[in-house]
Amino acid sequence: METGKRTRLIAAGAAGALLVGSVALAGPALAEPGDSAGVEVTVDIEEIKEPGVLAMSIAGDSVALAEDGSTLLVRQFVGTLPTVTVTDTRTADEVPAGAAWAVLGSATDFTGDAGQASIGAGHLGWKPKLIDGGDTGLVSEGEEVVTVLDEPTQPGNNVGLVDQELLVSTFDSGAVAGDAYTVNADLFLRTPGDVAAGAYTSTLTLSLFE
C-alpha cells in the first residue's frame, strides 16, 4: 500500500473513532435531574359530640338529726336532706318518646351503736321542697310522707320511708331536658317517748329512674 493512502486511512479511522466516542458520551452529557412536586394532604376532623346524660348529685353524704318539738309521748328529731340536683344535658331529640324521670328514696332501720333495739324506718318521714323547678312547671316535688306514729295527712301516707317514696319528678323528660333542678326535704324522726338513749344510724338511699 502506498504511503499516502495508508496515512489517509489511519486518519479516517481515527476520526471515526472520535465520532463514535462522541456519540457514546452524548447521553449522560445531556441528561437533567427529574422534576419534583409536592402533594398537599388535608383532613377535616370534627369535634366529637358526646351525647347528653341524665344524672343526679347530692350536696352532702350525711345529715345529723337534732331533737326539736318533742312531747311527753313522742320524741321528734329533725334535719334537712342535703340538696339533690337532677341535671339533664340531653337535647329533646335525645330523650326517648314518652320518657319520665323520678327520684325515689327509702331508708333502712336505725341501728343502735350499743346493742339497743333498732328504730324502724317507718319512724322516719319527710316533706320534699322544690328549690328550683325551672320555668316549665313540669318538675314537682313529691308529697309529704309521715311516720307510723302519725295520722295520715294524705290517704295512706303514714308509712315512713320504708319503701321507695317520691322526692321529685317530671312526667315529660323531653320537655325539661337541657336544664338542672334542685330539691331538698325536711326530715323528721318520731319515736315513742321511752325510746332507749344512744346513737343510731340509718341509710337513706336516693335513686334516679327514667
**161 closest CA partner among 136, 138, 181, 144:** 144
Taken in order 65, 154, 175, 132, the sign of the CA dihedral is negative
- Write down the pLDDT at residue 37: 86
User: What pTM was estimated for this model as a whole?
Assistant: 0.78
Q: Are 182 and 83 in contact (CB under 8 A)?
A: yes
User: In degrees, to the nearest 5, what angle opens at C-alpha 135 toward C-alphas 129 and 136?
Assistant: 95
Rg (CA), the chain: 45
Partners of 61 in the β-ladder = none
Beta strand 179-192 with 84-88 is antiparallel
d(CA 192, CA 149): 8
Q: Are 129 and 141 in contact (CB under 8 A)?
A: yes
Half-sphere exposure of 109 (CA within 13 A, CB side): 8
| Residue 177, φ and ψ in degrees, nearest 5 | -65, 155
Question: For each of the chain's 210 residues, which pLDDT tens digit applies?
Answer: 444 444 444 344 444 444 344 444 444 545 567 788 899 999 999 988 889 999 999 999 999 999 999 999 999 999 999 999 999 999 999 999 999 999 999 999 999 999 999 999 999 999 999 999 999 999 999 999 999 999 999 999 999 999 999 999 999 999 999 999 999 999 999 999 999 999 999 999 999 999
Would you state the cell numbers that stand for residue 85, as one nine-digit string?
340536683
Partners of 168 in the β-ladder = 103, 141
Label residue 141 exposed, middle or buried (CB < 10 Å: 0-12, 13-18, 19+). buried
Domain ranges (residues) in the chain? 54-209
- Write down the pLDDT at residue 12: 42
Would you state the cell numbers that stand for residue 62, as one nine-digit string?
350525711
Residue 70 carries which DSSP code? -
